[in-house]
Structure 1
Amino acid sequence: MARRSWRAAAACIVVLALAGGCGGGSEEGSLTINIPAPQQSTPQSPFQYQFPPANQVPPAPNSPVATAVVAQAVLIGGASGFFVRPNLILTNWHVASPYLNGNTQAYPMPVVLTDGRSFNGTVVAWDASVDAALVRVAAASSPQGLPMGRSHELRPGNAVFAIGNRLQQGFVYVGGNYVEHAPVGIPCGAPANTRDAVVVAADVANGNSGGPLFNAQGQVVGMVSCMATGGFAGVRGIAIPSETLVDWLNGLDWARIGG
């Protein structure tokens, strides 16, 4: 079979047939991509891919959908983010908060793009109650921003995908399944307010925070916030719904932010 040959190939692509939670934290099936050092010239694949169930239609590893999403992902320190407009990146508040001191930014935020470029990001807006923050970089030829979808159009079992700095191993692309919307107390450093969240069976882990959760059309349906800590048997991921993110972004003072 093709999958068996991939597993045996020296190209380091490991394909895992997803069963429920995408491996439940096992490193089997994970292709890790690290940003190469400047002297490194060997090209590397841009992401990891894990197959969702057979009844779903995922974006193939090198499809336009998958590569378009991956190109707009970023690493922020040990966590993740993604472009929503040119030079503007969305991430979690709990990812941005270590770089803040009250209402000012105290430390430069290291941002790395998938093409290897690195920048010091400036936090231009944040809201702990939403667990969202907006970061500006000054990148020539910036990615244009991912399209937003509607998380409430997902149905149980629909394929979803995440790209992020899983376990601080670079850009890692994983597949999973939508479970439900549920009131969840976001436990990842944001205030413990209970709010509507997207619950997914996907092998997200430490470092996925702030990365995009997207559907098979490449639309963002949520932003990964944390792993489930209880109450959802076999479920690994909690994400902020895209509708919540869009409402927050639309409510910002864009005359001040610009872009």
Structure 2
Amino acid sequence: MSKLNIKSLMVVGLTSTLLVGCDAMNQGQDNGVTENQTGNVNEEGDVAVSEMRVDVSSGVTDAVSTIDDAVVSVINLQQAAQNPYGWYGGTQDDTVEGEEDLQTVGTGSGAIYKVDGDTAYVFTNNHVIDGSDAVDVLLKDGTRVQAEVIGADVWTDLAVLSISSEDISSVAEFGDSNNLKVGEPAVAIGSPLGTDFASSVTSGIVSAVERSVPVDTDGDGTYDWEMTAIQTDAAINPGNSGGPLVNIAGQVIGINSMKISTSTVEGMGFAIPSNDAVDIINQLENSGEITRPVLGIGMVDLAMISQQQREAVLNVPEDITGGVVIAEVTGGSAAEEAGLAQNDIVVKFNGVDVTNGVELRQQIYDTTVGDDVEVEYYRDGTLETTTINMRASNEVL
């Protein structure tokens, strides 16, 4: 704050005090002090704390109380590097009691969403538990329990854990993210910067819905997916990942996943919509994995191909500026059976124009195993069409 602003504030404060004094004198107060200005003074003349009880309940406090006990911290444990000097030169706090060969490498958040007999289920982000050798969950009351990773999905950044239900007293309820209104209250709960700040609450609004946010899932510096997300200005910090974004009723409307973090940006966090998350969570809980259809191809965006190669190798028509070039076709794949080949340029999939690999992947994952899908592509400058029967595979595409 500049000196000018400070002076301005001081002047305002002084003016207010003078106005009070003048008002008091106008009301006939001899000492210029009204009764409520004497402060809380007891019979001995000492200042005391007021016994007045102020009702501070609000929609936010009610929402937090509804779900707070179901929110947890998720702790990623990995094998500790071997130290030839024992623990000297390191810190004893790096190890976990009873798990001497493991150390905490990261923490995130999550929430208990279901109890089934002796088992409770927790949702979190895939990137929170990625690379873990073991996972612990810290409950609201401070109880720390071991968790089992039931399943995780890199594309939606979701994971499901199971823990003992012995100490569980509350579960989170999912709300309908399809009915969100821009400007409605949104509350984020989690463990920013680690378990020392567990159960931290931040509030804001739903800033936007159905935001397309580019994501680099494999860390190679290239975007390979677009996540449809809820945007919020509720503060989301490192450690909030995997925790719930809730509405004013305390229902989970999103799962906090990421934020834009630069010195010029403030209040732009993103959450996976609950309606998208529930389907993935159910599949992970039931089968431990997500079964998606694939083509069986390697690909390159047409935009990445030089003009010389477009003309000399691909013979791309001049009016075609976007598409996906097939770099290779896996033997026995759905793409091979449909007649697709290297250097074909896919421009439309299942009736939808595709200009890059991200769009093609999204359209592929929107189909179901067993679907017959029409694909339009250019081969040596000629537009052709084929039908592909979608099948599941461990291939990326």
Answering whether residue 213 of structure 2 is matched by residue 175 of structure 1, we say no
Counterpart Cα distance in 2 of 1:237 and 1:200:
5
CA RMSD, 1 decimal: 2.5
User: TM-score of the superposition, structure 2-length normalised?
Assistant: 0.45
Aligned residue number for residue 46 of structure 1 = none
Answering whether residue 279 of structure 2 is matched by residue 240 of structure 1, we say no
Query: How far off is 1:171 after superposition?
Result: 1.8
Change (3 A) 1:144 1:84: same
Aligned residue number for residue 222 of structure 1 = 254
Change (3 A) 1:121 1:236: same
Counterpart Cα distance in 1 of 2:217 and 2:141:
29
Unaligned runs of 5+ residues in structure 2 are: 1-55, 76-106, 290-397
CA contact (8 A) 1:156 1:177 kept: yes
Report matched runs for 1:137-176 at 5 Å.
137-168=163-194, 169-176=197-204
Instruction: Please identify the structure whose Cα radius of gyration is greater.
Output: 2
CA contact (8 A) 1:123 1:135 kept: yes
Change (3 A) 1:118 1:178: same
Change (3 A) 1:198 1:255: closer
Answering whether residue 299 of structure 2 is matched by residue 250 of structure 1, we say no
Aligned residue number for residue 208 of structure 1 = 240
Q: Secondary structure at the residue paired with 1:142?
A: coil
Q: Secondary structure at the residue paired with 1:210?
A: coil
Tell me the amino acid that sits aligned with residue 133 of structure 1.
A
Q: Secondary structure at the residue paired with 1:98?
A: coil
Aligned residue number for residue 13 of structure 1 = none
Q: Secondary structure at the residue paired with 1:166?
A: coil
Aligned residue number for residue 90 of structure 1 = 123
Tell me the amino acid that sits aligned with residue 156 of structure 2.
V
Counterpart Cα distance in 1 of 2:163 and 2:236:
26
Counterpart Cα distance in 1 of 2:145 and 2:277:
24
CA contact (8 A) 2:208 2:232 kept: yes
User: TM-score of the superposition, structure 1-length normalised?
Assistant: 0.67
Answering whether residue 95 of structure 2 is matched by residue 59 of structure 1, we say no
Counterpart Cα distance in 2 of 1:238 and 1:133:
17
Aligned residue number for residue 34 of structure 1 = none
Number of residue pairs the alignment of both structures matches? 191
Report matched runs for 1:74-85 at 5 Å.
74-77=72-75, 78-85=107-114
Q: Secondary structure at the residue paired with 1:167?
A: coil
Aligned residue number for residue 162 of structure 2 = 136
CA contact (8 A) 1:129 1:193 kept: yes
Tell me the amino acid that sits aligned with residue 248 of structure 2.
A
Aligned residue number for residue 79 of structure 2 = none
| Cα offsets for 1:210-247 (capped at 9, x unmatched) | 000000001100000011247x9543211111011111
Match of 2:149 among 123, 134, 138: 123
| Cα offsets for 1:135-185 (capped at 9, x unmatched) | 011130424521111122121211000110112222201101101121112
Aligned residue number for residue 3 of structure 1 = none
**RCO comparison, higher one (Cα < 8 Å, 6+):** 1
Counterpart Cα distance in 2 of 1:196 and 1:173:
24
Structure number with the higher helix fraction is 2
Change (3 A) 1:256 1:80: closer
Q: Secondary structure at the residue paired with 2:59?
A: coil
Aligned residue number for residue 70 of structure 1 = 68
Unaligned runs of 5+ residues in structure 1 are: 1-50, 52-56, 100-106
Q: Secondary structure at the residue paired with 2:203?
A: strand
Stretches (4+) displaced over 6 A: 188-191
